[in-house]
Amino acid sequence: MRKGFMQTAFILSAFSLIASGCGNGEDNTVSTPEATKTVEATQAPTATPAAPVKIRMFASDQSLPPLDANDPNIVFMEKKTNTDVDLVSLPHSQYEDQLKLKFASGDFPDVYQSWSGPEADLIAAGKVLELNDLIDKFGPNLKKNIPQAAWDAVSVNGKILAIPQPSSNSNSTLYVRQDWLDKLGLQAPKTSDELMTVLKAFRDKDPNGNGKKDEIPFSMREKFTWGDNIFGMWGVNNSYTEVFYNNEVIIQNIHPNMKQSLGFIKSMVDEKVMDSEFLTNSRTVWEQKIKSGLVGMWSHTQQLAWQWQADLDKTIPNDKPNVVAIPTPRGTGYDGPLGTRWSPVAKTYIIMKSTKNPEAVIKYFDWLMSEDGQMFTDLGQEGDSYKKENGKIVVDTAKMEKNKAFNVIFKIHGTNPAVEEAKLSNPAAFAKLKAAWAVGDKEGFKNEAVGMPAAKNTYNIDTMFLEEGSKIVLGKAPVEHFDEFVKTWRKQGGDQMVKERTDWYNKNRKK
């Protein structure tokens, strides 16, 4: 991440669409130059194309290098949409703070990118444009390609307050070394008890075949990161996730099922089937352990299903690794949804009421959501970064990588399987990815925080949960201590947060 404030703003040259001039109609009675002149004199003059509409946009730089002011993809996009995009890129690590500073100083764009609905104070101040009528009139592709769940997530009392990029998959999936399972004659676990049995076998039966007891049956990263599917065996999540439970909107860190999840992780620690450094592993250390062939099971994003296989093929080719995504096992005594949180939107675009030409902004996003726009924002320009051969898409991998910042910032559609298959250009790779998607499509629970205004105060829930949860899983406090943690947090202000969130939900979201 970059440090300090960084802003990259650029205004690109405008391009006008070329209007066609003459028609093709024939008139056999007109045969002399004089007659032709008469006809030309009575024809209406060709209309002057409308000037490109300037759209000022705030967006995260997604921790990628800034786009060049003369990026040919932006020039192409502007030409297609008759716009002049003035993009202000803000550093990803400071994005929300920088937005607040700009808004506080009265600096409002035409549209800004977020990951949820607009801030409550912007709505209350009348700064946000309601989009229902505009989308009905100018957004046929938006209506066609964005599912209702995504619209619901950015709506308040039926008023659409943002354009959502839809997301169809849950947050992560559980990966296992299938070659280890096969070597030990084991099946993928379907319950928490079966999971423990598999992990113990990984611990004791030398599945990596090096004659050493160095296997790490399960690994996760610091602060419980990427332990999602372990918590998800009981339908909860350790990162910021809110659900409507027992007539309240609560953060899942205090959900009763969290006690069972922490108890299971404690048993993993006690049985030495959990990475001993699971609370401190950095990303680099964690990835190295997996790539070196020591880890039997871990959680991570579905989109990297093939990348994990490719990485292990490079680092431990002689082991013939086989990484597969498997469904989240069901926790003992639990019969609800499994997996990890599912947010129906990936990112959002919020339009200010002060924008001078909201119709043009909607049309701009509508083209991005069209079939041509989707292909463009995924792959770039046909004939440059990809081409079609015998009905198949063939991509230029090097140029695709150069387009990455553009793709991430301007893509507003969900997963396009045909595009993903073309980008991988490898049937085995796409099969891995499809298998992970298939698992994710059947799992997940909704994160009610999506579309809700940010909590005014979380009363230190993240730090408290990490501290108290760590004590429990390391055996420094009994599992029953979880109940005391919940009472303490609620008493020190948590109840106020729960009340505020529940009141908003009942007023604006509950059906």
Task: Reduce the secondary structure of 139-196 to three states and give it as a string.
Answer: CHHHHHHCCHHHHHHCEECCEECCEEEECCCCCCEEEEEHHHHHHHCCCCCCEHHHHH
Residue bearing the bigger pLDDT, 13 or 411: 411
Outline where 205-350 has alpha helix (H).
Answer: 228-231, 257-270, 283-291, 305-315
Q: State pLDDT tens for residues 401-429.
A: 888 899 999 999 998 888 888 888 889 99
Reported confidence tier of residue 82, pLDDT bands at 50, 70, 90: very high
pLDDT at 14: 28
C-alpha–C-alpha distance, residues 439 and 339, integer Å: 9
Asked whether the predicted pLDDT for residue 11 surpasses 60, the reply is no
pLDDT in tens, 278-334: 999 999 999 999 999 999 999 999 989 999 999 999 999 999 999 999 999 999 999
Is residue 133 helix, strand or coil? Answer: helix
How far apart CA 461 and CA 488 sit, in angstroms, is 10
Write down the pLDDT at residue 182: 98
End-to-end CA distance of the chain: 41
Q: Which token pair is 257?
A: 């099922």
| Contact (CB, 8 A) for 463 and 166 | no
| pLDDT tens per residue across span 38-55 | 333 334 444 566 899 999
- Predicted confidence at residue 10, as pLDDT, reads 30
What is the crossing angle of helices 358-369 and 371-379, to 10°?
A: 70
Nearest to 120 by CA among 165, 156, 93: 156
Token pair 């009472």 is found at 487
Q: How large is the average pLDDT for residues 428-449? A: 89
- For the cut 50, the answer to whether the pLDDT of residue 369 exceeds it is yes
The one-letter amino acid code at 89 reads: S
Q: What's the pTM value of the predicted model, to 2 decimals?
A: 0.77
